[in-house]
Homo-oligomer: A and B are copies of this chain.
């Protein structure tokens, strides 16, 4: 069967219809769940409370081997009838919002406003709805479904939850494919994982009086040299590869040579090889800039040094065209009348992509916006939400190989 035929067969199946009816009947419950979860703060590196609540929800949904791993991910297994291969269906527990952010949900009509409500708390609730729908319809799949609420997707979390799942998780050997349900829109499928390396580089020197110590090496100039050199590094447009000196600070007084100047640098690429090349070049640039400054001015009171801290490392990867996971997901999207398109982004799917494991980011259904801002919103209007949920449920079933289909 073609991917389109597979999706059509699933959608035509009476059991799928029962599952969809259950999604509809359960919609208010799903909305209640997203409100409950959203109002449990889950700041970066502070996902414990939400993780504990979600663990209980997974348990209440009858999954097996419900547990929290060492890094903080919570998960449970819905057994398949096959050989134990696993399709992961994940959503991330963390938000970008710091502890103390007001996370109460305000509702206006079908719109919910709250930090984190659409990214990615909605997906946590929708994945539970999927479990209930599958159970209500008695749907079995060949592969085990491992439902995961993972930590550390955002920012400096550096994908540590999913990284751990693949590096040390007890199921890691059996994961055959990976879906992260992240944000509402289903037509935007992420098949390319933009990798990043992030650095904080501090140039240090002896400092001194701007006038009396004139001629001494100045970390400001090493910083400027490195910044300018990075700006000039050519990068391919495809795979998209970028660099940015984003933040700078240093110096204490207008009449003093700075002791230290710090830059924060963001390097990204959709290609692991390009990212590696850029990363290597950047580190060379820093060392060259230090050497240039130490040669340009006096080191009599001390030389310039650079302290390089890697503060972020997300692997690049891609689920390339031609992989069945892509065509099945696209067919599921198209079957609901959406126009699927594939994007590059940085999500939990980066990790399996970088390991060559088929992986995508798909949507939870509904509409949302202003993610990462205090005005973040989610529209749970039932028709659009259910249309999206059906889309992703069909994709999951195609990938997990729904029993008696095809």
Within 8 A of B (CB), among A210-265: 210-211, 214, 218, 220-221, 223-225, 227-228, 231-232, 240, 242-258, 261, 264-265
- B211 pairs with A194, CB closer than 8 A: yes
Q: How far is the CA of A53 from the CA of B206 in the complex (A)?
A: 42
Question: A135 an interface residue at 8 Å Cβ cutoff?
Answer: no
- Mark A residues whose CB is within 8 Å of B: 194, 196, 198, 210-211, 214, 218, 220-221, 223-225, 227-228, 231-232, 240, 242-258, 261, 264-266, 268, 296, 311-312, 346
A227: chain B residues within 8 A (beta carbon): 220-221, 223-224
Tell me which residues across on chain B come within 8 A of A243, comparing CB atoms: 214
Residues of B within 8 A of A265 (CB): 254
| Shortest CB distance A179–B (Å) | 23
Contact across chains for A254 and B224 when beta carbons are under 8 A apart: no
Chain B contacts for A255, CB-based, 8 A: 244, 246, 266
Chain B nearest CB: distance from A7 CB in Å?
Answer: 31
List 13 contacting pairs A-B, 8 Å CB cutoff, sorted by A: A196-B211, A210-B242, A211-B244, A220-B248, A224-B224, A224-B228, A225-B228, A231-B296, A232-B296, A246-B253, A246-B258, A248-B249, A254-B311
B254 A312 Cβ-Cβ under 8 A: yes
A330 to chain B, nearest CB (A): 23
- A182 shortest CB reach to chain B, Å: 17
Q: How far is the CA of A224 from the CA of B230 in the complex (A)?
A: 11
Given contacts A224-B224, A224-B228, A228-B225, are A247 and B250 in contact (CB under 8 A)? yes
- Neighbouring B residues of A248 by C-beta, 8 Å: 220, 223, 248-251, 258, 261
The count of identical subunits is 2
The residues of B that contact A346 with a CB separation of less than 8 Å are 211
For the complex, give the distance between the alpha carbons of A258 and B228 in Å. Answer: 15
The answer to whether B231 and A218 have CB atoms under 8 Å apart is yes
Contacting pair B246 A220 (CB below 8 A): yes
Taking A223-B224, A224-B231, A232-B296 as known contacts, 6 extra A-B pairs with beta carbons closer than 8 A to each other, sorted by chain A number, are A211-B244, A220-B244, A224-B224, A247-B250, A248-B251, A255-B266
A231 touches B221 (CB 8 A): yes
Of the candidates B196, B218, B247, B266, which one forms a contact with A245 in the assembled complex, judged by CB atoms under 8 Å apart?
A: B218
Known: A224-B228, A231-B218, A250-B247. A242 touches B211 (CB 8 A): yes
Query: Which chain B positions have C-beta within 8 A of A221?
Result: 227-228, 231, 245
Is A264 in contact with B247, judged by CB distance below 8 angstroms? Answer: no
Q: Is the CB of A211 within 8 A of B257?
A: no
CB of B211 within 8 A of CB of A266, answer yes
Task: Please state if B210 and A266 are interface contacts (CB–CB under 8 Å).
Answer: yes
The distance from the CB of A151 to the nearest CB of chain B, in whole angstroms, is 20
Residues in B whose Cβ lies below 8 Å from that of A257: 244, 246
Residue among A243, A248, A249, A250 having the largest count of chain B Cβ atoms under 10 Å: A248
List, in ascending order, chain B residues with CB within 8 A of A245's CB: 218, 220-221, 224, 251
* A78–B312 CA distance with the chains assembled, in angstroms: 71
Docked pose: A255 CA to B251 CA in angstroms: 23
Given the contacts A221-B228, A224-B227, A254-B312, A244 and B194 also touching, CB distance less than 8 Å: no
Q: CA–CA, A250 to B218, complex, Å?
A: 19
Bound CA–CA A252/B246 (angstroms): 7
Cβ contact within 8 Å between A228 and B228? yes
The answer to whether A244 and B218 have CB atoms under 8 Å apart is yes
Which residues of chain B come closer than 8 Å to A254, judged between CB atoms?
198, 246-247, 264-266, 311-312
Nearest first, the 10 A-B pairs at minimum CB distance are A247-B251, A214-B242, A224-B227, A210-B244, A224-B224, A224-B228, A221-B231, A210-B266, A254-B264, A220-B245
